[in-house]
Amino acid sequence: MVDLKTQEEARLNKALELLHFGFRAITSHPDERLAALGYSRVHHRILYFIGRHPDSSINGLLEVMRVSKQYLHRPLKRLVNDAYVSMRTDPRDRRSKRLKLTAKGARLEASLTGEQRRQLAEAFRRAGPEAEQGWRQVMALIAGEQS
């Protein structure tokens, strides 16, 4: 008799392996570039989300990224000090700071994320629109963005 529990576990383990290796493949190029600059993956995440949400407040960025102030503070400060991100006081609320990529930050973010976009575009092209839609649905469910 076939052990269905073992088959299900093997199927899920294979999915986890693909997720692990896919993530490694899509982050390897940016990770190498970041390491050469003395940065880590968190710096890329910050650049990416500021690039998608320019002029967001620090609290807004925390919400979008779903991270704590402690997680964000040191790497964001370094990106500001290294002139990749500008931080200005919000004229309507002096307690709030607004974040934006500088030209230097936008170039770095485009370089890092551009390779990832190319990888996704090629995979989606090869897999087809139905597979892409299925992937998006699975990722959204894992991320808790759908019920």
pLDDT in tens, 107-128: 999 999 999 999 999 999 999 9
Domains of the chain: 9-143 (1.10.10.10)
Mean pLDDT taken over the chain: 93
34 token code pair: 């970041």
How far is residue 94's CA from residue 131's CA, in Å, rounded to a whole number?
Answer: 47
Phi-psi region of 57 (alpha: psi -120 to 50; beta: other; left: phi over 0): beta
pLDDT value of residue 4: 65
What's the rounded mean pLDDT across residues 18-31? 96
What's the rounded mean pLDDT across residues 2-9? 79
pLDDT value of residue 3: 73
Which position has the higher pLDDT, 27 or 96? Answer: 27
Res. 93: pLDDT tops 90: no
